[in-house]
Amino acid sequence: MIDYTKEELVELLEKHPERFNEWKLEQEEVDLSEVDFSSMTFNEIDFTGVDFNSSSFADCNISLCNFNNADLTSVDFTRSKILECDFSESLLNGADCSYAEMTYCNFSDADLAGCMFSETNLTSSDFTASYNLHACRFDDGTIWPDPEFMPDDFDAIYKDDLSAMKDEDDYATNSDY
């Protein structure tokens, strides 16, 4: 069994993803936390159970990848194009998916507490069985999937968050005093 460093695994993913998939089958744990994958392309890679805590996938093209049961806590997916990926049972707590396209993805049993979806296109992604979607952050530029792909109790209508709160002084009118 070959033991790779994080740098060697990044190179393997970039140049020989099929060899990564074969190697990963023999591993109990794969730690790719705090790794910068920015601007890379990933296609048909099995990331099941991988620890990506605090890694960056900013500006990536990712398609047909399996992130099932992966730790994606505080991962940066900003401006990425993510197509038909499986995020079921994954932890996306605090992940930043702002300005990303995450279409036709599966979020069944994924924990989305604190996940940021500002200006994110989530067309045709499945959130019906996701957890803590009510605790994610989004804005009026977020494109949600059709209602049949959303939990029954989720309100996708944007409401200003706490940062938009204004003091009473902001509403004061001119007075003679």
Q: Which two tokens stand for residue 97?
A: 């998916």
Lowest mean pLDDT among 31-40, 101-110, 165-174: 165-174
Taking only the tens place, the pLDDT of each residue in 122-131 is 999 999 999 9
Q: How far apart are CA 126 and CA 136, in angstroms?
A: 15
- Is it the case that residue 23 has pLDDT exceeding 80? yes
pLDDT over 80 (residue 154) = yes
Provide the percentage of residues in the chain whose pLDDT is more than 90.
83
Amino acid at 133: L
Q: What value does the mean pLDDT take over residues 135-159?
A: 88
Please check the confidence at residue 15 and state whether its pLDDT lies above 60. yes
3-state SS string over the chain?
CCCCCHHHHHHHHHHCHHHHHHHHCCCCCCECCCCECCCCEEECCECCCCECCCCECCCCEEECCECCCCECCCCECCCCEEECCECCCCECCCCECCCCEEECCECCCCECCCCECCCCECCCCECCCCECHHHCECCCCCECCCHHHCCCCCCCCCCCCHHHCCCHHHHCCCCCC
Is the pLDDT at 160 greater than 90? The verdict is no
Instruction: Give the separation between CA 34 and CA 113, rounded to whole angstroms.
Output: 20
Counting Cα atoms < 13 Å in the Cβ hemisphere of 14 gives 13
* pLDDT tier at 157, thresholds 50, 70, 90: confident
Q: Does domain 31-154 have CATH number 2.160.20.80?
A: yes
| pLDDT higher than threshold 60 for residue 174 | no
Q: How confident is the model at residue 41 (pLDDT cuts 50, 70, 90)?
A: very high
Q: How far from the centroid of its chain's Cα atoms is residue 11's Cα?
A: 23
